[in-house]
Amino acid sequence: MLIASDSNILEEEYNVDDPTEMVSIPTIIIAKDFGDIIREFTKLKKNTNEYIVLSIKFSGVKEGGYVEIELFMRSDEQKARNFFNEFSYYKEKLGDKMKFTPIYKYSKFVNEPFNNNVTLNENSNSNVPCVKESRMCATSNRAMQIENPRNILIENIRESCIYQELGQEIYWKYMLQFNELCFDTKNPLFNDECALSVLKKISLSELDLENLNKCMINLVKYESKIDNDFNTFNKRKIYSIPDLFINGVPYRGTWYSKYIFRSICNGFLDDDKICEGINPIEVIYNQRVGNGVLIFIIVITILVTSCSLLCYKRYINKNLEDALSERIEEQTMKSISQYQMFKDNQKHGSQLELVSE
């Protein structure tokens, strides 16, 4: 679908995801001047027998060398955390061709109190939602039963430091272990104690833990990744999380990991060995097939349910009719019997009268 804007300035927010992720319509938005040219051309050709063929070519998209994935997230966001579990296989497949950068969301509440005492220990005793004089804050997550916003704030900072100090591989390993041990959707243990148990499980040295402590303290004292993340959110105009950018381009497809990987291969990575067997049409086809199967299942379910209800209704009606017929027959026989007795009584009464005379 080709959409001509009413302006020559295109904003990123013009691209809007389908929230249900059920419809896949490739869409291109072009500036007003280009739209006017195409519109005038189609008017000229309207009354002729000529066909109009519009060809759109994308050039210079594939980078060839590596792919950089930026994940805009918050440490308590379920869809973002699921991404780590689901995309792990493709991360291994991409290997050193992939650079991953997490960018964490913070809010600013000017009137909220703040606390700069941030270390790996004893943060759960505080519920102050902000750090830094600039009031970088977090909010609670009642849907996940995380009532203390301080825990979310500190986890953002902790994960930022793990990424910054220990690198992408250790960060990814931590995220997977944290998901398994601390992010149970039914009973999340979203606190310092559980995070420390994860750090011990991935066998960090005392020096690593010491460096993490220093990093967390420095992040709230000085200009740091916290401020950079906050500014990046504003610059990229990220209004909802999670959000995914691939080589600086916002990803606007479904969040199934295989589709993200195929988008990487089709648009950004020129490596036949990694992307072997990826068909550019397969993504759209699979989405349509998947949606078709879902619709088919729904239709069959409705039909089976309707047939079952119809059969049950007929069964009930049949039983009611039989019971009613039996009841009517019983009442009829009873009435006939009573009427016969009445007639007999009348007859005997007449005979008695004649005898007495």
Instruction: Write the burial class of residue 355 (CB in 10 Å: 0-12 exposed, 13-18 middle, 19+ buried).
Output: exposed
Q: What is the mean pLDDT of residues 222-228?
A: 91
The CATH number of residue 180's host domain is: 3.40.30.10
| 109 pLDDT more than 80 | yes
Choose the final residue of a domain: 280, 302, 332.
280
pLDDT, one tens digit per residue, over 112-122 is: 888 888 877 65
Domain span at residue 250? 67-280
Distance, C-alpha 309 to centroid of its chain? 34
pLDDT of residue 98: 92
**H-helix or E-strand containing 280?**
none
pLDDT, one tens digit per residue, over 23-61 is: 667 778 888 998 999 888 888 887 787 777 877 765 555
Helix, coil or strand: residue 180? helix
pLDDT, one tens digit per residue, over 323-346 is: 666 676 666 666 666 666 766 666
Residue 183's pLDDT band, with cuts at 50, 70 and 90, is: confident
In this structure, are 105 and 205 located in the same domain? yes
What is the number of helices (H) and of strands (E) in the chain? 8, 9
In this structure, are 241 and 315 located in the same domain? no
pLDDT, one tens digit per residue, over 132-149 is: 888 899 998 888 888 889
Least confident of 65-74, 233-242, 263-272: 263-272
CA–CA dist 263, 252 (Å, integer):
10
In this structure, are 252 and 213 located in the same domain? yes
CA–CA dist 42, 38 (Å, integer):
6
Residue 57 lies in a domain: no
pLDDT of residue 332: 65
Choose the final residue of a domain: 248, 280, 312.
280
Residues in the chain: 357
Peptide bond into 242 cis (omega under 30): yes
In this structure, are 266 and 302 located in the same domain? no
Residue of 353, 334, 116, 348 lying closest to 221 (CA atoms): 116
**Total number of domains constituting the chain:** 3
Helix, coil or strand: residue 136? strand
Residue 188 lies in a domain: yes
Tell me if 233 sits within 8 A of 73, measured CB to CB.
Answer: no
